[in-house]
Amino acid sequence: MMSDRVADRVKGIKGSGIREFFDIAQQMEGAISLGVGEPDFVTPWSIREACIFSLEKGYTSYTSNWGLLELREAISDTIYKESGAYYDPEGEILITAGVSEAFDLALRAIVNPGDEVVLHEPSYVSYKPCTAFAGGTPVCVDTEVGDEFKLRAEKLKDKITDKTKAIILSYPNNPTGATLSRKDLEEIADVVNEHDLLVISDEVYGKLTYNSKHTCFSSLNGMKERTILLNGFSKAYAMTGWRLGYAAGNKEIIEAMMKIHQYIMLCAPITAQMAAMEALRCDDETERMVSEYNRRRRLMVEGLREIGLSCFEPKGAFYTFPSIENTGLTSEEFAKKLLLDEKVVVIPGSVFGACGEGFIRCAYAVSQYEIKEALERMGKFSERHHVV
């Protein structure tokens, strides 16, 4: 049979629950999408201009597998300025085609068949599948809304076995908007040291933090050599379609990641790399976007609570994760009925892990007008389901 030709580890993975709703909404006239984490801002003009200028000058070639040295130097300077952690541009930083590629490379560079990788849930939908694709076994730690969806060192420790190779950290978190304080992270670092683990720290939402300063995990005492730091340009600079990210870490591991990268990707697009150098000089534009996200965050949380949905106040990223348990519907039932009845796209919390059941993810990376209209439609829907 034809299905026998597909690898078992691939057949056993479901398609992305996010894309399912996105594809439906694309065909529905008048739909408002709070589903996909896509900034509604256009990439700032100076960044686009840098790309255009690079094309006019004829920069259309391959780059080094590592990426442009000038960009790696700029990333090194930025990380050091923001966190105090220094990475050598020549050997400790790799430019990738988005953070997603960096994450995949990190897993494939460190995971042997049967190794366990611990991750906290709710979490981004690709973490478990990519771990399986790399031959590893994902081990999940549930977090709770009553504890602000924080990964606690004690719960992490309970999941560690002699097969554990690494843990995945993702704060600010997608889908919950949760963050961890420096103290929280230091307690996790103690567990990492005690059990001689590696850490893949996805910090793509680091600049989108409200009311506090983001702590880079690798800046903690003893964590630089143990951490593969992932970041990119999609969220903070509204560059999702440019597909540009990077990994920074231990030279041996980054070189192993580069070895895989050079065979499967070769290099990230040179035009995106040229634009990214300008992006790193655009702090004012990022601050403007974060300020607007903060206004939308408050609007979304207040609106959800007013229509009767209990909602944890996110501390970072651009998502809310309200509870819909008082509707009597499952997360998937709620999302599908809301889409069909009111043409509002939200994502069932269950796609982010079993402990996400009873919640939905609503992105506020859309205009205030669309948020208000979506909330009005959700209010009508909630009234019909006796929420208010």
Domains and CATH numbers, the chain: 2-43+284-384 (3.90.1150.10), 46-282 (3.40.640.10)
Q: Are 218 and 248 in contact (CB under 8 A)?
A: yes
Which of 17-21, 25-29, 35-39 reaches the highest mean pLDDT? Answer: 35-39
Locate tokens 């050079």: which residue?
A: 262
Q: Are 269 and 90 in contact (CB under 8 A)?
A: no
Spatial separation of the C-alpha atoms in residues 93 and 273, rounded to whole Å: 14
Looking at per-residue confidence, does 386 or 36 come out higher?
36
Spatial separation of the C-alpha atoms in residues 326 and 28, rounded to whole Å: 28
Place 267 in a pLDDT band, splitting at 50, 70 and 90.
Answer: very high
How high is the pLDDT of residue 3? 63
- Nearest Cα residue to 21 out of 367, 377, 343, 375: 343
On the CB side of 207, how many CA atoms lie within 13 Å of its CA? 23
User: How much is the CA Rg of the chain, to the nearest whole Å?
Assistant: 21
Spatial separation of the C-alpha atoms in residues 195 and 198, rounded to whole Å: 9
Locate tokens 């567990």: which residue?
A: 191
Does the pLDDT of residue 143 top 60, yes or no? yes
Q: Taking residues 230-249, what's their average pLDDT?
A: 97
Q: Centre a 10 Å sphere on the Cβ of residue 369 and count the other Cβ atoms it contains.
A: 9
Spatial separation of the C-alpha atoms in residues 85 and 219, rounded to whole Å: 5
- Give the sheet arrangement for strand 347-348, strand by strand: 319-320, 360-363, 347-348
Q: State the distance between the two ends of the chain, measured CA to CA, in whole angstroms.
A: 53
pLDDT digit string, tens, across residues 289-336: 999 999 999 999 999 999 999 999 999 999 999 999 999 999 999 999
Q: Provide the CA 188 distance to its chain's centre, in angstroms.
A: 20
How high is the pLDDT of residue 5? 85
pLDDT digit string, tens, across residues 160-188: 999 999 999 999 999 999 999 999 999 99
Residue 5, burial from CB neighbour count under 10 angstroms (0-12, 13-18, 19+): exposed
How high is the pLDDT of residue 386? 64
Residue 173 corresponds to which tokens in the numbers above? 């978190």
Residue 381 corresponds to which tokens in the numbers above? 């829907």
pLDDT digit string, tens, across residues 117-141: 999 999 999 999 999 999 999 999 9
Residue 139 corresponds to which tokens in the numbers above? 């081990």
Does the pLDDT of residue 380 top 60, yes or no? yes
